[in-house]
Amino acid sequence: MSEGAAPPQSPTEQFVKLLFDHVSDSPELHFFNSHVHLPHMQLPVLGEFQITRYMVLEVIAAVLCMLILIPLARRARPGVASRGPFANFFEAIFVFLREQVARPAIGHDSDHFLPYLCSAFFFILFCNLLGMIPFGGSPTGNLMVTGTMALFTFGCVHGSGIKKMGVVEYIQSITPPVPKAVYPLVFFAELIGHVTKTLALAIRLFANIFAGHMVMTVLLGLIVLFLLMTGNVFISLATAVPSVPLVIALSLLELFVAFLQAYVFTFLSALFIGMAVHPHH
């Protein structure tokens, strides 16, 4: 071994690297054995800026949202008929979000928040589904991404409450009537509760998506691990017999979870908005 060269990795270390390369962000795009290095830029104000795989996937998800939601909004105008099963599928989702999520949770003001709720639902859904594509990844399996989405909801919730009632009245609305002596303590507890709800919104989405992809990657990675450890192709193929059907079943479950977690995030966002704009209901 030449001086300064990295020591060879054990099969277990190679397996762990393979495992976390799939579920973590990176400055590269992977296609089979090739790697596409993403640009690294020096920006005037921000300094060093590295474009990562999850950033590319988020842009793809955002473009898909625009390609679907903008035509959908145009067809929603009076006198414009929808065309085709593809449009009807997304219109059905939109109607479901409006009738079963926004209006029950928010009430008569719900239509004002539909653009945000629909955008959040479809963006999260597409981010989840991109992880089902080989060599892709789920940006929602990253806590920074889900945390940013939760911050958007946090700003929408409290911004809407302040806009409707004003700063003083809104602060009074989130604190129950208590004696003045304990008011600062209760207000601080309520503030912690709102921050905790935002953190829970981020962690719930991140944990469900990350855990699902981790389990599927482990099951497939066992095939590679046994091949690296034993060098025997037949043992590796024997490991694939139970692993592959389990991964197929988990993939179907993950497809359901992709829709479910987008719904849960959107429903909780609508619920928090409703509690902010109608605190006494």
pLDDT in tens, 129-188: 988 887 778 899 889 999 999 999 999 999 998 988 888 888 888 887 878 888 888 888
Rounded Cα distance, 172 and 77, in Å = 40
> Looking at per-residue confidence, does 23 or 264 come out higher?
264
Q: Which residues of 126-153 are buried (b: 16+ CB within 10 A; e: fewer)?
A: bbbbbbeeeebbbbbbbbebbbebbeeb
Average pLDDT, the chain: 83
- In contact, 274 and 112? CB cutoff 8 Å: no
* pLDDT band at residue 60 under the 50/70/90 scheme: very high
- Tell me phi and psi for residue 110, to 5 degrees: -65, -35
Please report, to the nearest 10 degrees, the dihedral formed by the alpha carbons of residues 263, 268, 270, 276 taken in order: -170
3-state DSSP assignment of residue 42 = strand
Closest CA to 101 of 266, 244, 250: 266
**Quick one: pLDDT band at residue 75, thresholds 50, 70, 90?**
confident
Where do the structural domains in the chain lie, given as residue ranges?
A: 26-277
- Burial track 48-81 (b if 16+ CB lie within 10 A, e otherwise): eeeebbbbbbbeebeebbeebbeebeeeeeeeee
Instruction: Pick the more confident residue, 236 or 56.
Output: 56
Distance CA 162, CA 39 (A): 41
d(CA 122, CA 118): 6
What was the pLDDT predicted at 150?
A: 95
pLDDT at 258 (0 to 100): 92
pLDDT of residue 1: 46
For residues 264 and 128, what is the distance between their CA atoms, to the nearest angstrom? 13
Higher pLDDT residue, 19 or 214?
214
CA distance 15 to 224: 7
